[in-house]
Amino acid sequence: MSSKENATIDSKLVKQLGQKKSDFLKIKCNGCGGEQVTFSHPSKPVKCLVCDKVLAKTTGSKLELVQGQIVQLLK
């Protein structure tokens, strides 16, 4: 999968996220490739459990990806 395709998937997922109040999602670390499940509207920055990079931070109640990417939405 090219990085361009990845970006398209990401924006689709983000759009889906915007339509939901609360959900869980799987985030992949850009640093080590580790995946973890997190709340879609976390109250604290999401850190990689493996390498401790900040994968996503919060702006208000919204998730903003930093060093991670969304790979799956969980219902």
**Size of residue set near Zn ion by CB under 5 A:** 7
Per CB under 5 A, contacts with Zn ion among 30-59 are 31-32, 34, 48, 50-51
Give the residue with the Cβ less far from Zn ion, 12 or 45. 45
C-alpha atoms less than 13 angstroms from C-alpha of 8 in its C-beta half-sphere = 5
Which among 33, 45, 48, 14 is positioned nearest to 25, based on CA atoms? 14
Least distance from Zn ion to the Cβ atom of residue 69, Å: 12
Provide, for the chain, the percentages of residues in helix, strand and coil under a 3-state DSSP scheme, each rounded to the nearest 5: 20, 40, 40
Q: How far is the CB of 10 from Zn ion (least distance, A)?
A: 18
- Binding positions for Zn ion, rule: CB under 5 A: 29, 31-32, 34, 48, 50-51
